[in-house]
Amino acid sequence: MTSRLFAEITGTDSGHDPILLLHSLGLDHTMWRSCAPYLAAGRRLIIVDLPDHGRSPAGADTGAGLLALLDAAGAARAHAVGVSLGGNEALALAARAPERVRSVTASGSFAFLDDTERVARLEATVTRAAELGMAAFADAYIAGTLDAEAREKDGHRLREVLAGTPPEAYAAAARRCFATDLRPLLPAVRCPVLLLVGEHDTRTPRSSAEGIAAGLTHAEIQEIPGAGHLANVDEPRRFTAALQTFWDTDRPANVTG
């Protein structure tokens, strides 16, 4: 039996395909609060807590859980939008169930990390969180990730989410995230894909997006000016505008129709 993932459903059911919003490592559905007002006017939003995050159970099957959410919402298909970990999961879902995904937008994501990079990421996250404790780790993460305006607007709320995450849940999610290898899955992604890169993102720079695009048939890369790793938080209006332009461009839904 599939463990049910938590999702907040909001917005307007105007006949458009809904948007499945997937958050980054260590955060939860609330990281979409800045973007949601711009997106919810014309579409339904299914804003998810991924396994080991927020109100969702630990160790759940992410793909099965996301499909169950679409079924429960009566959504035949959706635009999948994710940041960092969430972008990786959006791409994996599109490979697993191409008929259910209208398009994918992945921001600050990657296809694969070699052994050196994977160890470095784990040391910078899991090891550091264990040494500092989650509260101090959250302080450092917010200070080093968001720009000044986003820290003022969203920093306290997101800091509380990360600080309140159980260390074992964060460690489990981080290990799964950094072990990601999308390369075998990317050829099965049939829908259009938008890869967003924050102008100042040093964690997943343009080369990370290019690594994903190399395995895809329908992909475009776009930079979000002024943004860092969490482009949807740093620049919610620019992030949302990129999505709207992408969706409004006339493309096939996928090769199966």
Helices 62-72, 85-96: axis angle to 10 degrees equals: 70
The whole-number average pLDDT for the span 152-177 is: 97
Using CA atoms of 32, 34, 36, 41 in order, give the dihedral in degrees to the nearest 10.
-170
Q: How confident is the model at residue 257 (pLDDT cuts 50, 70, 90)?
A: very low
**Percent residues over pLDDT 70 in the chain:** 96
Task: Dump pLDDT digits (tens) for 63-88.
Answer: 999 999 999 999 999 999 999 999 99
Quick check: 254 pLDDT over 60? no
Confidence of residue 42 (pLDDT cuts 50, 70, 90): confident
The set of residues, in sequence order, having a beta carbon less than 8 Å from that of 181 and lying 6+ positions away, is: 111, 112
Least Cα distance to 191 among 238, 232, 249 occurs for 249
Q: What is the pLDDT of residues 127-143, one digit of tens each?
A: 999 999 999 999 999 99
Write the pLDDT tens digit of every residue in 86-109.
999 999 999 999 999 999 999 999
| Both tokens assigned to 27 | 């955060």
What would you measure as the largest C-alpha separation in the chain, in angstroms? 51
What strands lie across the sheet with 101-107, from one edge to the other? 7-11, 44-48, 19-22, 78-83, 101-107, 193-198, 219-224
Sign of CA dihedral 110, 88, 191, 188: positive
Residue 40: exposure state from Cβ atoms within 10 A (0-12, 13-18, ≥19) = middle
pLDDT in tens, 202-228: 999 999 999 999 999 989 999 999 999
Structure pTM? 0.95
pLDDT of residue 202: 95
Token pair of 141, please? 């993460």
